[in-house]
Amino acid sequence: MPPQSTLRRQLLRRRPISAPSGSGLHRTIGPFQLTMIGVGGTIGTGIFFALSAAVPEAGPGVVLSFLIAAVTAGLTALCYAELASAVPVSGSSYSYAYATLGEFAAWAVGWCLLLEYAVSGSAIAVSWGQYLNDLTQRLFGFAMPATISAPPGSGGYVNLPSAVLVGLCCLLLVRGAKESALVNTVMVLLKLAVLVLFVAVGATGFHSAHLHPFAPMGAAGIGTAASTIFFSFIGLDAVSTAGEEVRNPRRTLPMAIIGALCVVTAIYVAVALIGVGAQPWTRFRGQDAGLSSILAEVTHAGWPALVLSVGAVISIVSVTLVVLYGQSRILYTMSRDGMLPSVFARVNPRNGTPVFTTVVVSVFVATLAAVVPLDVLTDLTSMGTLVAFAVVSLGVLILRRTAPDLERGFRVPGYPVVPLLSLAACVYLITGLSRLTFLLFAAWLALALAVYLLYSRKHSQLETPAPTAPTAPDAPSRTTSSP
């Protein structure tokens, strides 16, 4: 164990606030594509599947649950926008924490992000099999057996479709960020069109009587549902993981984060309101492919539900794609900083992507999706997301004091009230999560501490800077390597 003074220095040392000069990643993503990455990584399981889990907790009041989650995400999005414009690098809130709170805080946040992305990717992939079954049933009259298509613990043993989905997304990401962003943009536009169709058609079956009682579980139920569905906003964090692959990042990152939030909030609230108005809230529990079932009941016709099933299948593909992209970039950044083995920072010189990292992430996510129950996955994702969001809000407060003259392409309005409100809202939602989630999260952080003490603190680039480059994290010699 190092002396206390040395350990303290290691825990609190901060990374220089600058983009790496020799990044192997290619700047190929524009503002619209980046906004679509945020929308694509957000709109998906949260509305196509989690509605079936959240409505039984809150009743029709789930509309307020989405609003509470959206307000929290909105406050945090403003903080993300400022930090993204000031620290335009990959790594999301991990990089922001490294520049503001110190190395161990950054390591803990990065560890949370790895959990958040891996678990959310698994939760998203698990639900794909349900909508795929609904689609094949409507088209061809058959469905896969529940043993290989249902979530583990809910009738399934090994979720095969989720593993196939992750594998397909992995192949696309390996080809390159530009190609992945283009495919994602097309899928996002299709899913938005499908959700607009749901709102338009579902409104014809809207009955105000379905909204009574509005909050059968009281305010506590609304808060619990908000905590559960918060993982639906993970796509906002995914935008900031693209910091080194975006053209003009100081302007593009804030624009994409705020734009994605506006689109996502409008869609979530509209779909939730129409959903609980078109069907009694008591029927949502355990309902597979819930939105398709609602349309089939409202229209008494097959084509709207069929179109929605197609949209859901496409939507979940795009979310999985963005989540895998985000986690691979976080691993890449942590490895480049020396916090993880250097193999994770290797970039293929031909397509400019971290191929090895993408494959490892995909294998891990596919394994979780195949064997872990869905409710455990969603709550752990919400915990990781909320912790990361809270750190971003705290980072804005600290960076304003420690680097007031730093160039910022965007400044949080209403400072310091907005970051403080964001921090408080995140803490409020964290308190609504289950005891099991807290225990699993504590175990994950204990593992993070062990890895940091045994490996990361000794291999950090801030511990062993290159002799010719005093700011080692920015040195190109450690930024890239060939596979």
Provide the domain limits for residue 185: 28-457
- Asked whether residue 477 is domain-assigned, the answer is no
Report residue 222 as tokens. 């609304």
* Confidence at residue 289, expressed as pLDDT on a 0 to 100 scale: 54
- Is the bond into 213 cis (omega within 30 degrees of 0)? yes
| Angle between helix 290-299 and 177-202 (nearest 10) | 40
């593909």: which residue's tokens?
A: 317
Of 27, 171, 175, whose CA–CA distance to 90 is shortest? 27
Q: Would you say residue 386 has pLDDT above 50?
A: yes
For 163-217, what is each residue's pLDDT tens digit? 888 998 888 888 876 777 778 778 888 878 888 888 888 888 888 888 888 988 8
In angstroms, the CA 143 to CA 288 distance is 13
- Asked whether residue 22 is domain-assigned, the answer is no
Q: Would you say residue 420 has pLDDT above 90?
A: yes
- Asked whether residue 12 is domain-assigned, the answer is no
**32-41, 103-112, 281-290, 373-382, range with greatest mean pLDDT:** 103-112
* Confidence at residue 468, expressed as pLDDT on a 0 to 100 scale: 41
For 17-26, what is each residue's pLDDT tens digit? 655 544 556 6
For 132-169, what is each residue's pLDDT tens digit? 887 888 888 888 887 887 766 666 677 888 888 899 88
Report residue 314 as tokens. 């496409």
Report residue 332 as tokens. 């890449």
- Number of structural domains the chain divides into: 1
- Asked whether residue 219 is domain-assigned, the answer is yes
Of 331, 325, 333, 258, whose CA–CA distance to 89 is shortest? 333
In angstroms, the CA 323 to CA 321 distance is 6
* Confidence at residue 382, expressed as pLDDT on a 0 to 100 scale: 76
Q: Please, what is the end-to-end C-alpha distance for the chain in angstroms?
A: 34
The mean per-residue pLDDT over the stretch 353-363 comes to 89
Confidence band, pLDDT 50/70/90 cuts, at residue 316:
confident
* Confidence at residue 94, expressed as pLDDT on a 0 to 100 scale: 82
- Asked whether residue 299 is domain-assigned, the answer is yes
Report residue 129 as tokens. 């099999």
Confidence band, pLDDT 50/70/90 cuts, at residue 477:
very low
Q: Would you say residue 450 has pLDDT above 80?
A: yes
Confidence band, pLDDT 50/70/90 cuts, at residue 292:
low
* Confidence at residue 123, expressed as pLDDT on a 0 to 100 scale: 74
Contact 263, 245 (CB under 8 A): no
- Asked whether residue 417 is domain-assigned, the answer is yes
- Asked whether residue 483 is domain-assigned, the answer is no
pTM: 0.72
- Asked whether residue 397 is domain-assigned, the answer is yes
Work out the percent of the chain whose per-residue pLDDT is above 90.
4
Q: How many CB atoms lie within 10 A of CB 371?
A: 16
Residue 142 zone, left/alpha/beta (φ > 0; ψ -120 to 50; rest): beta
CATH for 301: 1.20.1740.10
* Confidence at residue 88, expressed as pLDDT on a 0 to 100 scale: 65
